[in-house]
Amino acid sequence: MNKVTTLPEAVRELVRDGDTVSFGGILSREPVACTYELIRQNKKDLTVIVDSRDETVEHLLGAGLVKKLESAYVWVGVIGSGLHFRRAVEKGIPRRVEVEDYSNLAIGMRFLAGALGVPYMPLRSMMGSDIPEYNPRIKITEDPYGGEKVALVPAANPDVAFIHVQRADKMGNCQIWGMLGNDINIARAARKVVVTCEEIVPTSEIRKIPNMTQIPFYCVDAVVELPFGAHPLGVAGCYWIDTPFRKEWLAASQTHEGFRAWLEEWVLSWETHEEYLRKLGPDRLAGLRKMELDNFRIPKIVGC
Amino acid sequence: MNKVTTLPEAVRELVRDGDTVSFGGILSREPVACTYELIRQNKKDLTVIVDSRDETVEHLLGAGLVKKLESAYVWVGVIGSGLHFRRAVEKGIPRRVEVEDYSNLAIGMRFLAGALGVPYMPLRSMMGSDIPEYNPRIKITEDPYGGEKVALVPAANPDVAFIHVQRADKMGNCQIWGMLGNDINIARAARKVVVTCEEIVPTSEIRKIPNMTQIPFYCVDAVVELPFGAHPLGVAGCYWIDTPFRKEWLAASQTHEGFRAWLEEWVLSWETHEEYLRKLGPDRLAGLRKMELDNFRIPKIVGC
Amino acid sequence: MSPACSYTTQEMMVSACSRLIRNNECVFIGVGIPLLAGVVASKIHAPDSVIVYEAGGIGAVSRRLPWSISDNATTDNALVATELWRALGDVQRGYIDLAVVGGAQIDRFGNLNTTVIFGPDGTYQRPASRLPGSGGSNDLASSAGRTLIVMKLEKRKFVKKLDYLTSPGYLGGRGERERAGLRGGGPEAVITDKGIFRFDPETGEMYLDELFPGVTAEEVKSLVDWDLKVAPSPKTVAPPTEKEIRVMRMVDPLGVVLGSKSKQEVQPFEEYFRTMKSCYESMVILI
Amino acid sequence: MSPACSYTTQEMMVSACSRLIRNNECVFIGVGIPLLAGVVASKIHAPDSVIVYEAGGIGAVSRRLPWSISDNATTDNALVATELWRALGDVQRGYIDLAVVGGAQIDRFGNLNTTVIFGPDGTYQRPASRLPGSGGSNDLASSAGRTLIVMKLEKRKFVKKLDYLTSPGYLGGRGERERAGLRGGGPEAVITDKGIFRFDPETGEMYLDELFPGVTAEEVKSLVDWDLKVAPSPKTVAPPTEKEIRVMRMVDPLGVVLGSKSKQEVQPFEEYFRTMKSCYESMVILI
């Protein structure tokens, strides 16, 4: 069961125009390299279902690939606003995007429902607010047991999910360190899953600590070894956030034309992730890695 | 936040006659020592909500402490039948027990609902079967999104849950190795949680691998260090199943009187878990430990 | 693949069941014969099948035969150790190709009872005979890609009408699963100690499809409480091979599944310790 | 507790907010001032409070100030690293005592808008100004034991009527939360750069309760778009102590929260690397 492939291959094989897609991670461990590849292959008219996002969704919006966005939050961390999100929603640049708001827990419950194969999930958020007023897919109902009010949200079962993890084996068993976001449910909810990882490890490494395998192989369709696959965001135990890089693309993104030029320079002018890393340069990559390893390392697991 | 106490104290303080109780583990890692203490303190008229069980529920049924049983499965592993379960249900010995059947996933969903603080959970099991015919709390409904049939089960929020884990700190952060059963949801669903553990470790040990902390301190009310707290069942990385011991109590339990005599000998004739372990003897305990460690050890975690 | 010269009925059932497990499948497995069949399949013709245990162990490579769906051995050297609701949730989501379960009563549509036998004046709350309940059986029967059922053939077990329908087969016939809202494929075969039954693709009714060596269709019909249909010319199930027998005896030297030791017999602790140790040692050869 | 001789408004807000966090509380914290306030509280008067971050980090002891609710630092040396839906599910279940959040618009009942400003002809699908959305804010406002809100006091932010109610305060007044089905306690205080607001226990309406040094009630009233009620004799908030200021500057040398560096300014990578390194070194002293 060897699912190892390349990112261009995985995107070509598994994603179609018009698909519904989701991304793992959240502000860190987002599969940024995957969105670069979606942009390179110009996968259009996507419906995107996400919790809270910056780079992944901002880039797709800026590149005009998103038809509809079902989300709780799109903004760029502490360093800026959601420039592309605002431009798309407020001005239709580069294209109109339909929005559908949820809370973060509501998006989490949509993925949980999707992961469990049930059509919806009840929760106690959003009641009394305007979120359901503008989103008819959130239903405020009476629970048939105690007659209490509960909000219902529909299952999310994206066509394709992209998940970036610290390590996976070639079967697709994934071990994630640090915060887990909604990855575990997203992987189970999606029809097809592309895993990119910092490192492909032998299955024997996975077996040393099976309690850390959050995503089982049977959810996964493609495995790609992609070090720095979340750059410029961070990955726990691997590298810290590249803030100067983020500020650069944000500065460029003040205008749509500026972002197109940035895309040309950083995404469209080559074919592979390796070239992107070469352009960043080994010193910068080593610096980001050192900044993380000075603070946090993935613990060493000594099996018996 | 030091929650360390003794088992007699925890049971005295936290459990009342008539309470609804649940137990973690499943066929292994069941908190058997806790049920011994419930029997010693004669906590009566309990409603028990469990997935699949042997020792924990069998002992409580045999001791006549259970008023109602909401479960998916009660039997004694591969070595026997549910003698006390059968005697209670078929003959009312030592007392009548009301039963309410679910499937294992249904019980799991009841705890998940309880853990999330929502009143119910939808699932796709039990439809078309007789389980809902005899259990009016399972409702077959139409989902308001696609009109599909789904079964609903009510949240389980037991008054007290007992969870046995490999290690916990004195705040109550628990790290569990091996199969996890429904423990994570049971701990969150219960109003009060008693954690017994093979070993209390410093919080600094917990911090070496926070991804392994499945139960956060804020769910936990009492922490008791109780090595061999699941005996005669097994605990992954700690000890293997004591089959001869299990066959002995099963043999004794062929009659209710036989079980009372066994209880007298093994549970009621002393006050503390330490005396029980002394009666088992160090050779037997060392043997059980060796049988496990020859096969599986909790991996050593080397932090940075 | 030389046939074994001598084997028990249990061994024959384990062998027949194991052969229905295909390579590369995710197999959700219950205790007893299903469990041993899964282990045998993974050691012989289905090395890339992965066994999923209900309490959360996935893909274990243990030096012990698991004795339950949740004992320590179910996560030794496993690929994943997770939660019960996750494992069964993954079945519900459709990730599990095959489930192998047992039962106490079965009807002609493959529906199972493992809850109660009412007896003459029994009720659900006070039956003549209380059985363990569904466990995960209903969930597997509802949602697994397909299911195999393993049961001894006896007239009181193969009944016209179940006392209680715990786990769905084809309910009242083909099409009824879908109408009830079930998504799993339903039962594929019933493996007994006399032969293998399959289900009519049109009606969903069980028929005798293969016979164990030396068993006749008439004998089988006499052990079933309804007018059993029989395939035009039932094949004979090939007996266990030597290799299959060797593997199963190596894996289960205590006879937990194969039944070579009495369940009731209380063994002294020291003897238990020694037997388990030799068991691990023989399993090591297989890993 | 000597007062600091000089401090910025942001530092005053961080200090005022941090003091409302009690020891032994589980505090669910948003980015920006809430985050820094939580860290300051835990280093000064609330050492046994535990900070919970939305993406799953609980009780981190990091040598870096987390910059978001999900960056690597939120799980460094943490007690628990889990999932987003679990952390917010634990809020829903009632395990979280206090949540600290921000907002773009607030009304007199403490309801918040972080979704859209419609503008003259705007609609939800095409507003004048699109904001990030709820994130976890609605979930916290719905279910946390109580909430603190941190916002700059401006007339366009403290409005008569919200464009869009993202996160519930007391909705239309006391009692309405319960009727809507919400279980959390609702807002306790609003910490601004001019003073602290609290809520009438009877009506749920916001009133000015405490003033920052040198600020008058009239000034505050002029920055609020409705006829603001004022406590009989508003207390003055004590200024930050030297220790508080020292801790916050040590923890945030990049000015991520305190704003000493411009957000837009692009720093060369080498300088960023050096500043982060000195940041870790100063944090080590605090751990």
- pLDDT tens-place string over residues A199-221: 999 999 999 999 999 999 999 99
The answer to whether D132 contacts A90, with C-beta atoms less than 8 Å apart, is no
Q: What pLDDT sits at residue B153?
A: 98
Instruction: Choose among A75, A152, A158, A151: nearest CA to A111.
Output: A158
- Per-residue pLDDT band at C62 (split at 50, 70, 90): confident
- Boundaries of domain holding C18: 9-284
Pair (B94, B108) in one structural domain: no
Pair (B87, B135) in one structural domain: no
Are B and A touching by the rule of 3+ CB pairs within 8 Å?
yes
How many angstroms from the chain centroid is the CA of residue C61?
20
- Per-residue pLDDT band at C98 (split at 50, 70, 90): very high
Residue type, D52: V
Does residue A275 lie within any of the structural domains?
A: yes
- CA of D259 to nearest chain A CA: how many angstroms apart? 11
Q: How many independent structural domains does chain A possess? A: 2
**Chain A: partners with 3+ C-beta pairs within 8 Å:** B, C, D
Q: How many independent structural domains does chain C possess? A: 1
Does residue C3 lie within any of the structural domains?
A: no
ipTM of the prediction greater than 0.90, yes or no: yes
Q: What pLDDT sits at residue D260?
A: 60
Catalytic positions of C: 54
Calpha distance C235→C216 (Å, rounded): 11
Pair (B56, B149) in one structural domain: no
Pair (A121, A250) in one structural domain: no
Pair (A184, A119) in one structural domain: no
Does residue B1 lie within any of the structural domains?
A: no
**Chain D: partners with 3+ C-beta pairs within 8 Å:** A, B
Q: What pLDDT sits at residue A76?
A: 87
Per mean pLDDT, which range of A298-302, C51-55, D115-119 is the poorest? Answer: A298-302
The stretch A45-61 carries a mean pLDDT of: 95
Instruction: Choose among A217, A222, A187: nearest CA to A25.
Output: A187
Calpha distance D190→D148 (Å, rounded): 6
- Per the listing, tokens 């494929």 go with C185
The stretch D253-259 carries a mean pLDDT of: 79
- CA of A13 to nearest chain D CA: how many angstroms apart? 30
Q: Is the pLDDT of residue A296 over 90?
A: no
Q: What is the CATH number of the domain that holds C124?
A: 3.40.1080.10
The stretches of B118-255 forming alpha helices (DSSP H) are 131-134, 183-189, 203-207, 243-252
- Per-residue pLDDT band at A55 (split at 50, 70, 90): confident
Does residue A81 lie within any of the structural domains?
A: yes
Q: What confidence tens digit (pLDDT) does each residue in C154-191 have? A: 999 999 999 999 999 999 999 999 999 999 999 999 99
- Give ∠ CA B36-B39-B41 in degrees, rounded to 5: 110
Q: Which residues of chain B have a CB within 8 Å of the CB of A120? A: 122, 143-145
Does residue C2 lie within any of the structural domains?
A: no
Q: What is the CATH number of the domain that holds B37?
A: 3.40.1080.10
**Of all residues in chain C, what percent carry a pLDDT higher than 70?**
95
Nearest-CB residue to A181 (from D56, D168, D264): D56
Per mean pLDDT, which range of A283-287, B11-15, D8-12 is the poorest? Answer: D8-12
- CA of C14 to nearest chain A CA: how many angstroms apart? 26
Q: What pLDDT sits at residue C287?
A: 60
Q: What pLDDT sits at residue D4?
A: 67
Does residue D252 lie within any of the structural domains?
A: yes
- Per-residue pLDDT band at D68 (split at 50, 70, 90): confident
Q: What pLDDT sits at residue C286?
A: 67
List, in sequence order, every residue forming a beta bridge with A142; answer none if it has no partner: A149
Query: Which residue on chain A is closest to B302 by alpha carbon?
Result: A300
Nearest-CB residue to A216 (from C24, C61, C80): C80
Q: What pLDDT sits at residue A48?
A: 98
Answer whether C181 touches A (CB < 8 Å): no
The stretch D188-195 carries a mean pLDDT of: 97
The stretches of chain B forming alpha helices (DSSP H) are 7-14, 32-40, 55-62, 83-86, 104-116, 131-134, 183-189, 203-207, 243-252, 256-263, 273-280, 282-293
- Per-residue pLDDT band at D264 (split at 50, 70, 90): low
Residues 6+ apart with CB under 8 A from D32: A78, D102, D150, D257
- Asked which of B154, B173, B193 is the last residue of a domain, the reply is B154
Q: Is-above-0.90 flag for pTM?
A: yes
Calpha distance B62→B39 (Å, rounded): 10
The answer to whether C80 contacts A173, with C-beta atoms less than 8 Å apart, is yes
- Per-residue pLDDT band at C261 (split at 50, 70, 90): low
Whether the link from the prior residue into A94 is cis, omega within 30° of 0, is yes
Interface of C with A in 81-140 (CB under 8 A): 81-82, 89-90, 92-95
Pair (A112, A96) in one structural domain: no
Per DSSP, the three-state class of A239 is strand
Cα distance between the two ends of chain A: 26
Q: Is the pLDDT of residue D179 over 60?
A: yes
Pair (A175, A289) in one structural domain: yes
Decide if D38 contacts D27 (C-beta within 8 A): yes
- Boundaries of domain holding B96: 7-101+157-296
DSSP-derived secondary structure letter, C175: T
Q: Is the pLDDT of residue D261 over 80?
A: no
Q: Is the pLDDT of residue B141 over 80?
A: yes
Cα distance between the two ends of chain B: 26
Mutation test of the interface with chain A: which of C25, C93, C98, C143, choosing the one with the most A Cβ atoms within 10 A? C93
- Per-residue pLDDT band at D64 (split at 50, 70, 90): confident
Say how many CB pairs under 8 Å bridge A and C: 59
Does residue A274 lie within any of the structural domains?
A: yes
- Per-residue pLDDT band at C257 (split at 50, 70, 90): confident
Say how many CB pairs under 8 Å bridge B and D: 59
Q: What pLDDT sits at residue A265?
A: 96
Q: Is the pLDDT of residue C263 over 70?
A: no
Pair (B200, B275) in one structural domain: yes
**Chain B: partners with 3+ C-beta pairs within 8 Å:** A, C, D
Q: What pLDDT sits at residue B304?
A: 54
List, in sequence order, every residue forming a beta bridge with A23; answer none if it has no partner: A162
The answer to whether B144 contacts A152, with C-beta atoms less than 8 Å apart, is yes
Residue with more model confidence, C260 or A281: A281
**Of all residues in chain B, what percent carry a pLDDT higher than 70?**
99
The answer to whether C82 contacts A216, with C-beta atoms less than 8 Å apart, is yes
The answer to whether C89 contacts A188, with C-beta atoms less than 8 Å apart, is yes
- Bin A87: left if φ > 0, else alpha if -120 < ψ < 50, else beta: alpha
Q: What pLDDT sits at residue D263?
A: 58
Sign of the C-alpha dihedral computed for residues A145, A147, A148 and A153 taken in this order? positive
Decide if C80 contacts C55 (C-beta within 8 A): no
Q: Is the pLDDT of residue C267 over 70?
A: yes
Q: D188 φ, ψ to 5°?
A: -100, -40
Does residue A198 lie within any of the structural domains?
A: yes
Q: Which residues of chain D have a CB within 8 Å of the CB of B210? A: 57-59, 75, 77-81
Pair (A16, A39) in one structural domain: yes
Count of other CB atoms within 10 angstroms of residue C285 = 9
Does residue A225 lie within any of the structural domains?
A: yes
Q: HSE of C195 in the Cβ direction (CA atoms, 13 Å)?
A: 25
Per DSSP, the three-state class of D283 is helix
- Per-residue pLDDT band at C26 (split at 50, 70, 90): very high
Decide if A38 contacts A60 (C-beta within 8 A): yes
List, in sequence order, every residue forming a beta bridge with D196; answer none if it has no partner: D191, D210
- Give ∠ CA B63-B68-B70 in degrees, rounded to 5: 115
Q: What pLDDT sits at residue B136?
A: 98
The stretch D214-233 carries a mean pLDDT of: 97
Nearest-CB residue to D132 (from A73, A180, A250): A73
- Per-residue pLDDT band at B289 (split at 50, 70, 90): very high
Residues 6+ apart with CB under 8 A from B289: B238, B239
The answer to whether A296 contacts B304, with C-beta atoms less than 8 Å apart, is yes
Q: What pLDDT sits at residue D2?
A: 66
- Per the listing, tokens 């006399």 go with C194
Calpha distance B279→D277 (Å, rounded): 58
Q: What pLDDT sits at residue D47?
A: 93
Calpha distance B91→B98 (Å, rounded): 12
Question: Mean pLDDT across chain C, nearest whole number?
Answer: 93
Calpha distance B100→B132 (Å, rounded): 10
Mutation test of the interface with chain D: which of A143, A179, A298, choosing the one with the most D Cβ atoms within 10 A? A179
- Asked which of B132, B154, B176 is the last residue of a domain, the reply is B154
The stretch B57-65 carries a mean pLDDT of: 97
Give Dmax over CA atoms of chain C in angstroms: 56
Whether the link from the prior residue into A31 is cis, omega within 30° of 0, is no
Does residue C240 lie within any of the structural domains?
A: yes
- Give ∠ CA B25-B30-B36 in degrees, rounded to 5: 155
